[in-house]
C-alpha cells in the first residue's frame, strides 16, 4: 500500500512520470485484454470530446441553434411543467427563473406531490402573475403521477419539464425552440450545470462530472442521434410527441423510460449546447451514493426488463445500437473495470504500483484536456477548481462500487422497492 501512496503523492516527479508512462505502454505486450479494455474506454470517453473541442475551435457556429423559419417572429406557447415534493425555497427560484427568462409566452404549472412544508404557499404567491397555476395532490403519489397531472392541464404546443430544484438560464427556451423546426424532433436535451457548486467538495466534483457527462457527452451523442436519456432535471418536448405516448408511465415513469418510448416512436432527440439549466446536487457522499443507487437500479429495471426489446432491432438498428451501447457502458463496464484492476494486479505482481501509477498519470492528463475543452465550450468548470482534477479518479471510485453493488442487487431482484415511489404505486408496476 505504501508503494501506491508514494506514486499518488509523487507523480509530478519527472522519474515517476517517465517510468509511469513506460509501464503503461507495456500493457500492449503484457495483456491484450487489459490493453484493449483501456483503449475502448479511452475511445468511448475521450476521443469524441476531443473531436468536439477541435470542431468548436475551427467552427464554433456549428453548435449554434438552427435558424428560425416557421417560428420566426412568433412565440408558441410553452408549458413549463414542474413536479416536486417538499422543494421549499427552491420552488421560488425555479419559478422565478422561468418568469425572468427572455421567452415570455409561457405558462407555469406546478403539481405538488403532497408536500408537508410550505412549498404550495410559496408557489401560490406567483399565481397573481396570471402565468402560474398550482395543483396540490391530496396523496403522495410520486413524481410521474404529478407530472401527468400538470401535463393534462397544459395548453402549450411545447412542454418544458423542469425539476423543482432547478433553474433555467434566460435563453434556455429560446435556444431550444429552433431545433423543433425539424418536425421529426420530439425532444431537446439541455446543458446541465450544478447550482450549489461551491457547497462542498462533493458538489465541486459533480460540477466537473456534469460538464463531462451531461453536456459534452450529450452533445456528441446528439450529433449522432444516439442520446440515451433526456435528463429529468430539465428538457423541452414537443407536446404532441409525449401526448401520443400517454405522457409518463406512472410506475417506472422516469427520464430513461420516456426517452426510450420517444425513440421507439421514432422521434428524433437532439441536444442544445446553449440551453442551460442549473440544478442542486447532493452535497454529501452518503446522499450522492443514495442518489446513484436509485439511478442505477431504475436504469436496470427500465432497460433490461421493461424495454429489453429495444435491442432486438425491431425499432431500427440505431435504437438497437443505443440499447446495447448503453448496456455495455452502464451495466457491463463497471464489472469490467473491477475485473481489470484485479487482473492487472495478478499479471504485474510487484510492478503493479508502477503500472497503476502510469495509468493514473495518463488518466489525469486526459481529464485535464477534457476539463479545458469543457471550459472553452461552456465556461465550466472554473479554473479555480482545476486543482481537483487529479483527484477526480478517487471521487469516481465509490460511485463505481455503488454501481457494481446495485446492479448486482437489481439483477438478483433483492429489495427492488425504493421509497422514492409510494408503495401503492410500486405494487402496480409489472416490470419490477
Give the DSSP H/E element, type plus range, for residue 293. Answer: helix 285-301
Q: What is the pLDDT of residue 361?
A: 77
Contact status, residue 173 vs residue 259, Cβ threshold 8 Å: no
* Average pLDDT estimate for 300-323: 92
Contact status, residue 165 vs residue 87, Cβ threshold 8 Å: yes
* Average pLDDT estimate for 69-73: 89
Contact status, residue 112 vs residue 94, Cβ threshold 8 Å: no
Has residue 344 got a pLDDT over 80? no
Q: What is the pLDDT of residue 350?
A: 57
How wide is the angle at C-alpha 231 spanned by C-alphas 230 and 237, nearest 5°? 50
Has residue 249 got a pLDDT over 90? no
Contact status, residue 76 vs residue 158, Cβ threshold 8 Å: yes
Q: What is the pLDDT of residue 36?
A: 66
d(CA 209, CA 226): 20
Q: What is the pLDDT of residue 237?
A: 98
What is the CATH T-level fold of the domain 65-312, as seen in this structure? Spore Coat Polysaccharide Biosynthesis Protein SpsA; Chain A (3.90.550)
Q: Is 121 helix (H, G, I), strand (E, B) or coil?
A: helix
Has residue 250 got a pLDDT over 90? no
Cβ burial, residue 255 (10 Å; 0-12/13-18/19+) = buried
H runs (alpha helix) in 100-165:
119-124, 143-153
Q: What percent of the chain has pLDDT over 90?
A: 64
Q: What is the pLDDT of residue 19?
A: 57
Instruction: Kindly list the strands in the beta sheet with 158-163, ordered across the sheet, starting from the edge strand earlier in the chain.
Output: 132-136, 106-112, 78-84, 158-163, 234-238, 185-194, 268-279, 166-168
Give the DSSP H/E element, type plus range, for residue 384. Answer: none
Q: Which DSSP category does 142 fall into?
A: -
| Closest by Cα among 380, 359, 384, 358 to 371 | 380
* Average pLDDT estimate for 218-233: 93
Task: Pick the range with the lowest mean pLDDT from 80-89, 220-229, 345-354.
Answer: 345-354
Task: Pick the range with the lowest mean pLDDT from 147-151, 248-252, 319-323, 374-378.
Answer: 248-252
Q: What is the pLDDT of residue 47?
A: 86
Q: Which DSSP category does 432 fall into?
A: -
HSE-up (13 A, CA, CB side) for residue 38: 22
d(CA 256, CA 299): 7
d(CA 96, CA 267): 31
Q: Tell me the per-residue pLDDT of 5-34, one tens digit each, with 9 for 90 and over.
A: 555 555 555 555 565 556 555 555 555 566
Pairwise pLDDT comparison (207 vs 427), residue with the higher score: 207
Q: Which DSSP category does 194 fall into?
A: E
Inter-helix orientation angle 32-45/333-348, to 10° = 140
Report in angstroms the alpha-carbon separations of 71 from 218, 241, 299.
Answer: 25, 18, 36
Q: What is the pLDDT of residue 124?
A: 95
Q: What is the pLDDT of residue 156?
A: 96
Domain range summary for the chain, segments of one domain joined by +: 2-56+327-426, 65-312
Q: What is the pLDDT of residue 416?
A: 81
How wide is the angle at C-alpha 76 spanned by C-alphas 75 and 82, nearest 5°? 110
Model confidence at 345, pLDDT cuts 50, 70, 90, reads low
Amino acid at each position: 500500500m505504501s508503494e501506491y501512496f508514494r506514486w499518488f503523492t509523487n507523480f509530478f516527479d519527472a522519474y515517476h512520470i517517465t517510468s509511469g508512462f513506460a509501464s503503461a505502454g507495456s500493457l500492449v505486450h503484457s495483456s491484450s485484454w487489459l490493453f484493449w479494455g483501456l483503449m475502448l474506454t479511452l475511445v468511448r470517453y475521450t476521443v469524441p470530446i476531443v473531436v468536439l473541442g477541435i470542431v468548436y475551435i475551427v467552427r464554433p457556429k456549428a453548435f449554434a441553434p438552427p435558424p428560425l423559419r416557421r417560428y420566426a417572429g412568433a412565440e408558441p406557447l410553452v408549458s413549463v411543467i414542474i413536479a416536486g415534493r417538499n422543494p421549499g425555497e427552491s420552488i421560488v427560484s425555479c419559478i422565478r427563473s422561468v418568469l425572468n427568462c427572455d421567452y415570455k409566452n409561457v405558462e407555469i404549472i406546478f403539481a405538488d406531490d403532497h408536500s408537508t412544508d410550505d412549498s404550495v404557499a410559496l408557489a401560490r404567491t406567483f399565481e397573481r402573475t396570471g402565468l402560474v397555476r398550482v395543483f396540490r395532490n391530496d396523496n403522495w403519489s410520486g413524481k410521474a403521477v404529478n407530472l401527468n397531472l400538470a401535463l393534462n392541464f397544459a395548453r402549450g404546443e411545447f412542454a418544458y419539464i423542469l425539476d423543482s430544484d432547478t433553474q433555467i438560464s434566460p435563453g434556455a427556451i429560446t435556444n431550444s425552440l429552433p431545433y423543433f423546426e425539424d418536425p421529426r424532433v420530439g425532444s431537446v436535451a439541455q446543458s446541465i450545470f450544478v447550482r450549489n457548486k461551491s457547497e462542498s467538495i462533493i458538489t465541486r466534483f459533480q460540477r466537473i462530472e456534469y460538464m463531462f457527462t451531461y453536456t459534452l457527452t450529450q452533445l456528441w451523442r446528439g450529433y449522432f442521434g444516439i442520446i440515451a436519456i433526456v435528463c429529468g432535471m430539465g428538457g423541452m418536448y414537443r407536446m404532441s410527441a409525449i401526448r401520443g405516448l400517454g405522457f409518463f408511465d406512472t410506475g417506472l415513469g422516469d427520464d430513461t423510460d420516456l426517452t426510450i418510448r420517444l425513440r421507439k416512436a421514432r422521434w428524433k432527440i437532439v441536444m442544445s449546447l446553449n440551453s442551460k439549466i442549473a440544478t442542486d446536487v447532493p452535497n454529501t457522499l452518503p446522499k450522492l451514493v443514495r442518489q446513484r443507487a436509485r439511478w442505477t437500479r431504475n436504469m436496470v429495471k427500465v432497460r433490461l426488463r421493461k424495454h429489453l426489446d429495444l435491442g432486438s432491432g425491431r425499432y431500427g438498428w440505431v435504437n438497437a445500437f443505443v440499447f446495447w451501447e448503453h448496456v455495455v457502458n452502464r451495466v457491463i463496464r463497471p464489472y469490467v473495470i473491477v475485473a481489470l484492476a484485479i487482473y492487472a494486479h495478478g499479471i504485474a505482481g510487484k510492478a503493479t504500483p508502477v503500472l497503476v501509477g502510469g495509468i493514473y498519470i495518463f488518466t489525469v492528463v486526459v481529464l485535464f484536456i477534457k476539463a479545458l475543452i469543457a471550459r472553452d465550450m461552456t465556461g465550466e468548470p472554473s479554473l479555480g477548481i482545476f486543482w481537483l482534477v487529479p483527484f477526480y479518479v478517487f471521487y469516481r471510485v465509490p460511485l463505481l462500487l455503488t454501481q457494481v453493488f446495485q446492479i448486482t442487487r437489481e439483477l438478483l431482484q433483492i429489495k427492488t422497492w425504493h421509497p422514492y415511489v409510494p408503495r401503492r404505486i410500486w405494487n402496480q408496476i409489472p416490470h419490477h
